[in-house]
């Protein structure tokens, strides 16, 4: 799970991570928001109406969901679980509340927080993304400040000072996490480690 404040450059980093790591899948969100020009159903989002989204919630088919500006966004459970059960990794772009919700049902999930190098850098990126009013910029900076308080809930913090370096760190985290002892123990028994190769 990758979280980070608006403007930190999460999409750029995510896209490069997905390009560099074979077998890593991006979890596409479901949303009731209308597609913007250029957005493709099943690529950028799974677009669905309010009724269908309500069904997904009712049937427990979302790992997490939330509402922003009147639109609902959620993480479809089936896609994530199918990928994981076939031995693939999935990367999720989730906000702090979403990450906390998912961590409850999937404690083995890894939480990475993408950090801006500085307040100025974040402000510039928010302006570059087209936040028009000074008020809107300040609102996002304020939200970033609050999000950074929750870094304690994360496993890793990666500073997006340089995209290549951030991508390199995230790729290393994904590789390293596969070697964690608690994951090895979930499918190996140290007491019988040599059994498979004996006799």
Q: Smallest distance from the beta carbon of 168 to its own copies, in angstroms?
A: 7
Q: Smallest distance from the beta carbon of 130 to its own copies, in angstroms?
A: 22
Residues 18-77 close enough to bind its own copies by CB under 8 A: none
The answer to whether residues 110 and 155 touch, using CB atoms and an 8 Å cutoff, is: yes
Number of residues in contact with its own copies under rule CB under 8 A: 39
Q: Which of 76, 62, 60 is nearest to 28 (CA)?
A: 76
Q: Which of 104, 116, 109, 105 is nearest to 162 (CA)?
A: 116
Region from 8-16, 35-43, 63-71, 111-119 binding its own copies, contact rule CB under 8 A:
111-119
Residues 149-188 close enough to bind its own copies by CB under 8 A: 149-152, 154-158, 168-169, 171-173, 175-181, 184-185
Q: Smallest distance from the beta carbon of 141 to its own copies, in angstroms?
A: 8
Residue selected from 57, 119, 124, 129 as contacting its own copies according to rule CB under 8 A: 119
Distance from C-alpha of 159 to C-alpha of 60, rounded to nearest angstrom = 34
Spacing of C-alpha 179 from chain mean position: 21
Tokens 């996490």 label which residue?
Answer: 177
Region from 19-27, 74-82, 114-122, 132-140 binding its own copies, contact rule CB under 8 A:
114-122
β-sheet bridge partners, residue 67: 72
Q: Burial letters for 28-55: b for 16+ Cβ neighbours within 10 Å, e otherwise?
A: bbbbbbeeeeeeeeeeebbbbeeeebee
Q: Which residues bind its own copies (CB under 8 A)?
A: 112-113, 115, 118-121, 145, 148-152, 154-158, 168-169, 171-173, 175-181, 184-185, 190-191, 193-194, 196-198
């Amino acid at each position: 799970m990758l979280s980070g404040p608006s403007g930190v450059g999460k999409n750029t980093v995510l896209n490069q991570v997905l390009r560099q790591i074979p077998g890593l899948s991006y979890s596409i969100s479901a949303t009731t928001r209308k597609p913007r020009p250029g957005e493709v159903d099943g690529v950028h989002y799974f677009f669905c109406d309010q009724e269908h989204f309500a069904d997904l919630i009712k049937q427990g088919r979302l790992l997490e969901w939330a509402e922003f500006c009147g639109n609902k966004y959620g993480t479809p459970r089936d896609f994530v679980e199918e990928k994981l059960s076939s031995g693939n990794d999935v990367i999720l772009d989730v906000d702090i509340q979403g990450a906390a919700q998912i961590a409850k049902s999937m404690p083995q999930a890894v939480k990475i927080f993408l950090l801006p190098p500085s307040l100025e850098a974040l402000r510039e990126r928010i302006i570059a993304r087209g936040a028009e009013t000074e008020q809107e910029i300040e609102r996002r900076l304020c939200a970033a400040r609050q999000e950074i308080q929750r870094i304690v809930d994360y496993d890793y913090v990666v500073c997006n000072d340089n995209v290549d370096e951030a991508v390199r760190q995230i790729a290393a985290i994904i590789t390293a996490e596969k070697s964690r002892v608690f994951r090895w123990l979930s499918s190996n028994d140290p007491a019988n480690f040599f059994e498979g190769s004996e006799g």
